[in-house]
Structure formats: C-alpha cells, structure tokens
Amino acid sequence: MAAVGGGRTVSSAFAPIRLWLLLPSWLTIGFFLLIPVLLMLVYSFLTKEFRGGVIWEFSLAAYDQFLFDRGLFGDDPPTIQWTYITIFARSIIQATIATIMCLLIGFPTAWYIATRPASSRAVWLFLVTVPYWVNLLIRTVSMKFLIRENGPMNEALLGAGILDAPLQLINTDFAVQLGLFYSYLPFMVLPIYAAVERYNFALSEAAADLYASHWKIMRSIVLPVVKPGIIAGCILVFVPSLGAFLAPDLLGGAKNFMIGSLIEEQFKGQAGNWPFGAAASMILLSMVLVVLFFYARSQAREQV
C-alpha cells in the first residue's frame, strides 16, 4: 500500500482510535448511499405499481422493456426496442463531443496558465475556477438566455451584420453540447494544469536542440508525459456529462432526450415507472463503473 504524503512513513499517532474516527463516515455513507444503491438494484427487478412505487414481486419487466417491444398488450412477438438504446447512445455521443470540446479549449488554456510566472498563475487559476463555484442551474439558465433566438448573442451578431437571420441554437444537439462543455470545462483545465506544471521543460529544450519541430515536441515528448492529466480531465468531464439532467433539459428540449431526463421522467414526470427508472439508473451506474475501472487499471499500470 502506498504511504500517504509523498513517500514519508505513514504516521499512526491516532491509530488506536482509528475505528471511532472512521465510523461516522462509514455509517452515514453506508446507510444513506450504499444500502440505497443496493436497494435500487433490487427495485429494478420488481413489478411496477401504477402512479409510482413498486409491488414486491420479482420481474424482469424493467430490463425487458428497455430492450424489447412487445406491442401494446405485451403479447406480440418481441422486436428490438430502439427508443431507449437510442437515448443511451445519444447520451454517449453528446458526452463524448462535449469532452472533445473541453479538451480542445481546456488543454491550451491549462498549458498557458501553467507556463505563466508562479505569481500570476494563482490569479489565472482563480479566474478559471470561479464559474465552477457558481450554481450550475444559474449557469445553464444564463447560457439559455444568451443563445436563445431573440437573445443577446443573436442581437449582437445581427446588429454587427455578421448574420442575416438569427441562429437557431436552442433545442439543438449543439446547444446541449455547448451546455455540457460550459458546465464541466473547469474539470478539464485543472488536472491538465497540474500535469503541465510538473512537466520538466528541459525535455523540450533537449528535443529542440536535436532539431525537433515545435509541434513534433508537443506530440512526441509533451503529450506522453502529461497524458495522465488529460485522461483524468476527460473522465471528470465525460462521467457527469453522461448522466447530466440540466443542460439537456433546459437547452435541448424534448427532441434531445438524454439518460438523465429519461430517469427523471420515471420518478417525477408522467411515466411513473419506478422499476424501469431503477433499471436505467443501474445501467448508467454500470457504464460509469466500467469507465472508472479502466481508469483505475491504467493508473495502476502507470505506477508499476
């Protein structure tokens, strides 16, 4: 096991009362999150009760409904039900595009900040982190206000003569991608910044002495070294984007349904199908766990 705190020996001044120190957190999270998640797994195998809730009777109906269409009365031969698979596929695509957008803007930003003199770095970092502390709902609403059809952005572009007709951004796939990008951009900048800050620029200088071009240095020397930061940033953006609710709901409209809205509708909206909502949540959670598992494994490999 790795020693905590940069290779120093692990301090154990509080080891005798360790159990009492850890117990409150174990009990709180275990009782109010771990058990609920296990209960959710159980619920996904129960029978739905109309108008919310469940009947305690084993059933695979929730997962069946996810994959197959058996007609209105459930007695037609099953065909593949594309509705929900499409929603999950769309969520993966939207989250991927948002992650790429964050990387394209976030990497140069993180690089620029990390190469400032130490004194001004803190200020730049502060500027990038402030929006993260502002309420996500307010940020999403602000984005909606800005890009709406009669909004300030279209007014400005029309006024400046750049556009002839207002851009129809709201309720498009791009609006959702923009919203996700806007929500999680700081998550991309911070880990990449941390990686670039540790990068030894003597490596770049050595490569330049050997006549490597500027971009060749970036590709072959810098990127392999800062890769862990990039991967961490991508995961920090991709995972919350996948299950996001606010950006698709406020910016995407009904046509651009994502997993978050699908789940929400089972509990708060018209659908009222708790086992199906629990099953969809389980599928989302499994996808996230797979991503985190591969991440943890690649981390473990790096350290060997």
Nearest residue to 177 (alpha-carbon basis) of 290, 258, 110, 235: 258
Q: Give the separation between CA 71 and CA 186, rounded to whole angstroms.
A: 46
CB of 22 to another protein, least distance (A): 4
Nearer to another protein, 76 or 155 (CB): 155
CB of 83 to another protein, least distance (A): 19
To the nearest 10 degrees (0 to 180), the angle between helices 274-303 and 259-267 is 140
CB of 81 to another protein, least distance (A): 21
Nearer to another protein, 228 or 244 (CB): 244
CB of 244 to another protein, least distance (A): 8
CB of 204 to another protein, least distance (A): 3
Q: Would you list the DSSP string of 228-261?
A: HHHHHHHHHHHHHHHT--HHIIIII-GGG--HHH
Contact 92, 223 (CB under 8 A): no
Dihedral, 281, 287, 289, 293 alpha carbons, nearest 10:
180
Buried/exposed code over 8-29 (b: 16+ C-beta within 10 A; e: otherwise): eeeeeeeeeeeeeeeeeeeeee
Tokens of 47: 């029978």
Nearer to another protein, 139 or 227 (CB): 139
Nearer to another protein, 77 or 224 (CB): 224
Nearer to another protein, 39 or 60 (CB): 39
CB of 294 to another protein, least distance (A): 14
14 contacts: CB under 8 Å, gap ≥ 6 = 21
To the nearest 10 degrees (0 to 180), the angle between helices 173-198 and 118-133 is 150
Nearer to another protein, 16 or 161 (CB): 16
